[in-house]
Amino acid sequence: MDVLDVSLRIGGVLLAFLLLPLLVGQAEHKVMAHMQGRLGPMHAGGFHGWAQLVADGVKFAQKEDVVPQGADRTLFRLAPAVALIPYLIVLIAIPVGPGGMVGEVIDAGIFFVLAVLGVGVLGSLMGGWASANKYSLLGGLRTAAQLMAYELPLILAAASVVMAAGTLSLPGILDAFAWWWVPWQLIGGFVFFTAGIAELHRPPFDAPLAPEEIIFGAFTEYSGLRFALFLLAEYAGIVVVAALTAVLFLGGWHGPLPDQLGWLWTTLKTAVLCFLVIWARVAWPRLRVDQIQRFAWTVLVPLALAQIALTGVVKVVFL
């Protein structure tokens, strides 16, 4: 592994990290608009508003970066970075295609990915605490409660795939994949994807943000570029959760086309899952905090446990 190879991989991951969230954001603008009978951005950049998010970025960069008087300044300034960077690190470990098409092969990849994903949520918690604002604190605490509730089904669902494949390495899981894993792990996939959305506090699980009740929760006091970084973290999170679901439960690069085009399959599956995330936001109302908790503990956790039992039974009896 020479220097060129490493820099190429890191450059690729960085490029994907900078580009894909913007693509998802733009897709959300347009898909949401058309689902509501609107057109969405039409002017920025000339052709159907393709440069809207670039324009948004320029606008955010021009705004004043305000830190409230009573805030814990260091934590307040650090929080957006804590929210954003974990997703960049997770992207390194996600395999895109066969034959080492991955930023870095990590043996305990799934452990690494899930651990780092959990760190990202801490950014909101830090921001909520450091803002010295009761709405931010409420949002931060709701974020924490949601993290506690949904981390468990997330890990249980991932554990089911690990049991099926007999390895913790993400490329290893994909090497062991066969098409009938999709129906076999269907419940686990549902649990993982739902819990992933909930950890990102995307609608319908966005009670920690809830602009109408607690004014964006932990982000109330943020402005300018730091607010933009939080938004970017949300969209990077969508990309990461969709890509992880595609890799763990939908077979990643496996598809009818030859293996050289495997990266296309990963991208396509990720894109479809991103669309589902956007669709859910448009179609469904926000759940209450207690409903979110009840859904996690009474629906997702039992489902995940049932999936693990199913995986174990099939693994022991049939394989």
- Minimum distance, C-beta of residue 295 to another protein, in the bound complex (Å): 11
> Residue 301 in 3-state DSSP?
helix
Q: Is the dihedral of CA 304, 218, 56, 90 positive or negative?
A: negative
Smaller CB distance to another protein: residue 34 or 59? 34
Tell me how far apart the alpha carbons of residues 158 and 220 are, in angstroms, rounded to a whole number: 33
Measured from the CB atom, the residue of 226 and 286 that comes closer to another protein is 286
**Least distance (Å) between residue 42 CB and another protein:** 6
Q: Enumerate residues 6+ apart whose C-beta is below 8 A from 16.
A: 91
Rounded least distance, CB 39 to another protein, Å: 5
Q: Give me the least distance between CB of 119 and another protein, in Å please.
A: 32
**How far is the C-alpha of 251 from the C-alpha of 57, rounded, in Å?**
35
Mapped onto helix, strand or coil, the DSSP state of residue 32 is: helix
- Comparing CB distances to another protein, the nearer of 263 and 279 is 279
The distance of closest approach from Cβ of residue 227 to another protein in the complex, given in angstroms and rounded to an integer, is: 28
**Residue 156 or 242 with smaller CB distance to another protein:** 242
- CB atoms under 10 Å from CB of 193, counted, come to 23
Smallest distance from the beta carbon of 129 to another protein, in angstroms? 34
Contact 205, 234 (CB under 8 A): no
Long-range pairs, 309-318, Cβ under 8 A, ≥24: 310/160, 310/184, 310/187, 311/160, 311/161, 311/163, 311/164, 311/184, 311/185, 311/188, 312/163, 314/164, 314/184, 315/163, 315/164
Report the residue number, 42 or 81, with the smaller CB distance to another protein: 42
Nearer to another protein, 34 or 73 (CB): 34
Are 21 and 239 in contact by the 8 Å Cβ rule? The answer is yes
Q: Which residues bind another protein (CB under 8 A)?
A: 31, 33-39, 42, 279, 282-284
Kindly tell me the sign of the dihedral angle through the C-alpha atoms of 233, 239, 243, 249: positive
Quickly count: other Cβ atoms within 10 Å of residue 257's Cβ.
11
Helix or strand or coil: residue 156?
helix
Compare residues 43 and 73 and give the one whose CB is closer to another protein: 43
CB of 26 to another protein, least distance (A): 15
What's the closest the beta carbon of residue 186 comes to another protein, in angstroms? Answer: 16
Of 33 and 75, CB closest to another protein: 33
Using DSSP's 3-state secondary structure scheme, residue 97 falls into: strand
* Coil/strand/helix, residue 101: strand
33 vs 306 by CB, closer to another protein: 33
**Rounded to the nearest whole angstrom, what is the least distance from the CB of residue 36 to another protein in the complex?**
7
Residues 3 and 95: their CA atoms lie apart, in Å, by 20
User: What pairs with residue 101 in β-bridges?
Assistant: 97
